[in-house]
Amino acid sequence: MPKVSVIIPIYNTEPYLRECLDSVINQTLKDIEIICVNDGSTDNSPEILKEYAKRDNRIKVIDKPNSGYGHTMNVGIDAATGEYIGIVESDDYVKPEMYETLYDIAKENNAEIVKADFYRFTKENGRLNLKYNRLTGKHEGYYGRIINPKEDITVFRFIMNTWSGIYKKEFLDKYHIRHNESPGASYQDNGFWFQTFCLASRIYFHNEPFYMNRRDNPNSSVHRKDKVFCMCDEYDFIKTFLDNNPDIKKRFIYIYSLKRFHNYMFTYNRIAEDFKLMFLRRFSRDFKLAMENGEIDKKLFSVNEWITLNQIIRDPVKYNRTRLYKKRLKSIERSKIGQRVLWILRKFRGGIRCYKENGLRYTAIRLKEKIIKKVL
pLDDT band at 232; cut points 50, 70, 90: very high
Q: Note the pTM of the prediction, 2 decimals.
A: 0.84
Q: What pLDDT shows up at residue 184? A: 72
110-130 pLDDT per residue, tens: 999 999 999 999 988 878 899
Contact (CB, 8 A) for 277 and 320 = yes
Pairing relationship of beta strands 165-168 and 113-124 according to DSSP bridges? antiparallel
Contact (CB, 8 A) for 23 and 57 = no
Alpha carbons 369 and 339: distance in angstroms, whole number: 21
Alpha carbons 27 and 38: distance in angstroms, whole number: 22
Q: Which domains does the chain possess?
A: 4-217 (3.90.550.10), 227-323 (no CATH), 335-375 (no CATH)
The full DSSP string for 164-229 is SEEEEHHHHHHTT------SSSSSHHHHHHHHHHHH-S-EEEEEEEEEEEE-SSTTTTTT-GGGTT
The answer to whether residue 345 scores a pLDDT higher than 70 is no
Beta-carbon neighbour count of residue 240 at 10 Å?
Answer: 12
CA torsion angle for 233, 200, 67, 86 (degrees, to 10)? Answer: 140
Q: What pLDDT shows up at residue 352? A: 65
More confident residue, 349 or 260: 260
The full DSSP string for 280-325 is HHHHHHHHHHHHHTT---GGGS-HHHHHHHHHHHH-HHHHHHHHHH
pLDDT band at 90; cut points 50, 70, 90: very high
